[in-house]
Amino acid sequence: MTKNIKTAARALNRDGKPTGNWRFFATIGLVAMSALATPLYANTKLFDEAKRLIAAMNPKQAYMILIVEQDKLSGNVEYDYLLGLAAVDSGKIDEAIIAFERVLSKEPNNAGAQLDIARAYFNAGSFDLAEGTFLKLQNLNPPASARLAIDKYLAAISDRRRAARRMVSAWGEMSLGYDTNLTGVPNDFTNAVQQSFNIPGVTPTGNSIKRRAPYLGAAVGVDALFPLTNRWNAYLGGDVRGRGFRNEGEFNSSAADVRASAIWTQAKNSANQVRLNAAFNAFAQNGDAPGDPKPKNDRRTAIAGADWRISLTALHLLTLSANAAQTRFPANKIEDFNSSIASIALLTTFAGKTAPLLQLTAYGTRDRAVNKLADGVSDKSKKIAGLRAYGQFNQTEKLSLFSVLGYATRKDDSGFARATTVEFGRDKLADVTLGVNWRFQEGCSMRAQWQGSKNSSNIAIYDYVRHELSSTIRCEFM
């Protein structure tokens, strides 16, 4: 018996948590059954074949040959125990519990059945019942190997309970960077204005001046996740951010975000989820545009929508998203618009030492302007479509490299909305990001990255190239 019990310790994963392929319980039960006296219902050939299949880690086949005999053999302790083992390892938890209960009704001191019904309770998420059974067995002073196995399950129950409790975390960031074109304007503004509006000799002023400057940024945030029911969880989060430019104070900015989600999970430990999301963002920046009152760059955005996350395999996660948004510019009403947004993303993880992952996203946005331009005819409605690719792989346990590639197109819906010489504006925006992330201590990391972007437009005034180099330190606190 002691030799068989020792298999339990080998069936634990590297984190010390129970795996789904334990043969320990089956071994104990099969040994214990040799002492059971049930000659009236004995079916030696069936039982031997079921034991062989269970030992060969083929519980589904064992279940199939056992279940057809249930009407004849239900109540036979050996049959019920084998059926319970085959059922629990086939994911038929409710049937396994019923079978083990029949065993224990006749053999209340059957240690194998007690251990296996506790395992079935654990897999069913009935942690109170599982814990009570494991504690009862623990108090019987089992051999060292069995005690170790029981302790591992009790630790796993404790971990699951902690995970189900309300989780609140806070984080903070500090950034240092340099932006080569913080206003996003072309190199030759004067010539661009002539091509776009047929107005020669315009000297750039205010927001039209190409500006470059170093900056300092900071952000703090809080995230909270807590259960509502067995399948529903709620999420609340928020953060505030600020960025200040050296010698370019008009373009200092601040932002605040609040987010909320109701999350439905298909089953315990499942990656299949539906998320109902809502968010609000407030951005503030004075800018340097002329006018009285001054048309600041302030904006407010409210978003509502849903995500459907589907686990295609253990390595592939598909996300479908649909959202509606309202964006308002308090000091520049002509820019107000409503959006419909849809996206599809595929996240793939790969096995290997570097644990690489790749996420591909395709999205489309339909922006409808709220207000007309001064001519009472044109407006700034547009369509945007894009693709993004994110890749990451780990050099070491603490050091990872990442890259982002993006491409988006913009098409104006309304004629002469952004120029007088070009009827319908067409833009193509490409961007690339290269970075490294270093987790230099528990809960803290430093991210260094370079981002380059280029917008090409048939309206010359919207052509620009921009580079940004930054380093960010982030720490999280539970």
pLDDT in tens, 284-329: 999 988 877 788 899 999 999 999 999 888 788 999 999 999 999 9
What local confidence, expressed as pLDDT, does residue 142 receive? 77
Instruction: State the pLDDT confidence band at 41, using cuts at 50, 70 and 90.
Output: very low
- pLDDT per position as a tens digit, 356-395: 899 999 999 999 999 999 888 899 999 999 999 999 988 8
pLDDT at 24 > cutoff 80? no
Q: What CATH number belongs to 167-477?
A: 2.40.160.40
Q: Which helix (H) or strand (E) holds 400?
A: strand 399-412
pLDDT at 10 > cutoff 60? no
Q: Which helix (H) or strand (E) holds 280?
A: strand 273-285
Instruction: State the pLDDT confidence band at 283, using cuts at 50, 70 and 90.
Output: very high
Classify domain 2-164 at the CATH class level. mainly alpha
Q: Which among 86, 66, 91 is positioned nearest to 76, based on CA atoms?
A: 66
Q: CA–CA distance from 308 to each of 232, 235, 275, 319, 337 (Å)? A: 14, 16, 6, 6, 26
- pLDDT per position as a tens digit, 193-243: 999 999 999 999 888 999 999 999 999 999 998 888 878 889 999 999 999
Residue owning tokens 């086939």: 90
What local confidence, expressed as pLDDT, does residue 150 receive? 84
Q: Which among 45, 76, 69, 50 is positioned nearest to 61, based on CA atoms?
A: 50
The answer to pTM > 0.85 is no
What local confidence, expressed as pLDDT, does residue 38 receive? 42
DSSP H stretches of helix in 125-215: 127-138, 144-164, 189-197
Instruction: State the pLDDT confidence band at 15, using cuts at 50, 70 and 90.
Output: very low
Percent of the chain with pLDDT over 70: 88
pLDDT at 330 > cutoff 80? yes
Query: Environment class of residue 267 by beta-carbon count within 10 Å: exposed (0-12), middle (13-18) or buried (19+)?
Result: exposed
pLDDT at 247 > cutoff 60? yes
What tokens appear for 134 in the block? Answer: 């494991």
Domains 2-164 and 167-477 share a fold: no
What local confidence, expressed as pLDDT, does residue 27 receive? 44
pLDDT at 351 > cutoff 60? yes
Task: Report, as an integer, the average pLDDT of 429-455.
Answer: 95
Instruction: State the pLDDT confidence band at 28, using cuts at 50, 70 and 90.
Output: very low
CA 439 from chain centre, in angstroms, equals 20
| Beta pairing, strands 316-328 & 337-349 | antiparallel
Rounded CA separation 141/151 (Å)? 12
Enumerate the domain spans of the chain.
2-164, 167-477
Name the least confident of 65-79, 97-111, 144-158, 417-431: 144-158
What tokens appear for 138 in the block? Answer: 């623990």
What local confidence, expressed as pLDDT, does residue 323 receive? 97
Question: By the 8 A CB rule, do 347 and 356 touch?
Answer: no
Q: Which helix (H) or strand (E) holds 101?
A: helix 93-106
In this structure, is the dihedral angle defined by the CA atoms of residues 135, 136, 141 and 143, taken in order, positive or negative?
A: negative
Q: HSE on the CB side for 165, CA within 13 Å?
A: 9
Contacts of 286 (CB under 8 A, 6+ apart): 250, 251, 252, 294, 296, 297
Q: CA–CA distance from 402 to each of 166, 300, 315, 411 (Å)? A: 31, 31, 19, 30
